[in-house]
Amino acid sequence: MKHAKYLLLLALCLTLTACGPKPAEAVALDLDYIANTLSDSGYFPQPLEAQDPELVPGLLNLYENRVEAGPEDVAQARYTMSLGMVADQFLLLEGTDGEAAGRLEQALATYTEDQRSAYEFYAPDQAARMDDPIVERQGNYLLFAVGQDRDGLEKLCKALMSGEEVYLSDFLPNLPEPEPGQSAPDESEPDISAPDASQPEEPAPLTAEDKAAAYDAACDYYLGTVFDVQGLTEIGLRAGEITFQVSCTKGGAKVDPDRTISLARENGAWTVVSEGY
């Protein structure tokens, strides 16, 4: 009798196990499809430029001790940024596993703070847009985005991260219309009016020491990346910002064309604001 009761309980346990909820299958996302869809969505009116994915670990400061995540946590990445002085951008990441994705999510929070500090210096009107960026996670995948019509863009990002095919006609952005009658200011005559006291003062011109510090910061940026810097040539300069042309090799082969890197000065320190071709 005891044996029969044991068999009955065992059968009941097996039945309950079979009827229980099955674990959700991991979603495999196509980062190229998501990146191309976002680029075509209209939520980024300014021209965008895709950056080399191999530079993303440096962008997220994954070589620095202050960030828990490391370059080895990134299985693949896509990064696209605006060519203008605006915060429009999106960043796609796949972590090597769930724990790595969690560390990368924390790294994105640090990246957001760094971006806000940089924009406060050279594009103050864009800094506030870093207060509430879109961050979506699906399993080991992460999507970071800053664009126009935040609510509409967030709905599009959620749909893309679900792994389903998206029709952009269902996610049209609600962008503000230009005000009628607006025209560009007449620049034929110099403006002799008093300066606007509400605007921040222009940073002091760069000294030789400033340029040397920017040069060192640019070189440091490439440490640990796939690029070996052969030389930097200054090609752009204005108060508080400097741009270098970067002659470098990758795997021993010369990179052609040369890359460029721009840095902005903030409280005496230099921060990379753009890098690419």
Over the stretch 57-96, which tens digit does the pLDDT of each residue have?
A: 988 989 889 899 999 999 999 999 987 778 999 999 999 9
Residues 271, 274: Cα–Cα separation, whole Å: 9
* Three-state DSSP state, 266: strand
Chain-centroid distance, C-alpha 21: 37
CB 75 within 8 A of CB 94: yes
What are 196-252's pLDDT values in tens digits?
Answer: 555 555 556 777 788 888 898 889 888 878 888 998 888 877 777 889 989 898 888
Share of the chain above pLDDT 90, in %: 40
* Three-state DSSP state, 238: strand
Lowest model confidence (mean pLDDT) among 10-19, 46-55, 104-113, 199-208: 10-19
Q: 238-250 burial, b for 16+ CB within 10 Å, e for fewer?
A: eebbbbbebbbee
Residues 111, 117: Cα–Cα separation, whole Å: 10
How wide is the angle at C-alpha 198 spanned by C-alphas 193 and 202, nearest 5°? 80
Place of tokens 């957001």: 112
Q: What is the secondary structure of 157-214 as a DSSP string?
A: HHHHHTTS---GGGS---PPPPPTT--PPP-SS---SPP-TTSPPPPPPPPHHHHHHH
- Six-digit token string for 113: 């703070």
Share of the chain above pLDDT 70, in %: 81
**Rounded mean pLDDT, 157-178:** 91
Q: What is the model's pLDDT at position 23?
A: 46
Higher pLDDT, 188 or 252: 252
pLDDT at 180 over 50: yes
What contacts 80, CB < 8 A, 6 or more positions away? 35, 38, 39, 48, 49, 50, 51, 89, 90, 91
Average pLDDT of the chain? 83
- Six-digit token string for 235: 């090609």
Q: How far is residue 22 from each of residues 10, 14, 18, 224, measured CA to CA in Å?
A: 20, 14, 9, 42
Query: H or E element: which one contains 105?
Result: helix 98-122
Report yes or no on whether pTM surpasses 0.75. Answer: no
What are 123-152's pLDDT values in tens digits?
Answer: 888 999 999 999 999 999 999 999 999 999
DSSP designation for 30:
-
CB 104 within 8 A of CB 74: yes
Q: What is the model's pLDDT at position 234?
A: 85
pLDDT class of 15 with cuts at 50, 70, 90: low
